[in-house]
Amino acid sequence: MAIVLGPNRYGKAETRVVRVTKDAGVHHVKDCNVSVSLSGDMDQVHLSGDNAAVLTTDAQKNTVFAFAKKYGIGEIEEFALTLARHFVDSQPTIRHARVEVEEYGWDRIPVQEAPHLGLRAEQHSFVRNGSEVRTALVHSDGSGADESVVSGLTDLVVLNSTGSEFHGYIEDEYTTLQPTDDRVLATAVTARWRHRSAEAATAFGRSYRAARQCLLEAFAETHSLSLQQTLYQMGRRVLNERREICEVRMAMPNKHHFVVDLEPFGMDNDNEVFYAADRPYGLIEGSVLTDDAPDPLFAWE
Residues known to be catalytic: 12, 57, 256
- Residue of 210, 285, 213, 220 lying closest to 245 (CA atoms): 210
Peptide bond into 280 cis (omega under 30): yes
Contact (Cβ atoms closer than 8 angstroms) between residue 227 and residue 187: yes
Q: Give residue 43's Cα distance to chain centre.
A: 32
Distance CA 62, CA 83 (A): 11
Number of Cβ within 10 Å of residue 109's Cβ equals 11
DSSP string across the chain: ---------B----EEEEEEEEETTEEEEEEEEEEEEEEES-HHHHHT---TTPPPHHHHHHHHHHHHHHH---SHHHHHHHHHHHHHHH-TTEEEEEEEEEEE-EEE-----BGGGTB-GGGT-EEE---PEEEEEEEE-SSSSS-EEEEEEEEEEEEESSSB-B------TT--PPPBSS--EEEEEEEEEEESSTTTTS-HHHHHHHHHHHHHHHHHH--BS-HHHHHHHHHHHHHHH-TTEEEEEEEEEE--EEEP--GGGT---SS--EEE--SS-EEEEEEEE-TTPPP-TTTT-
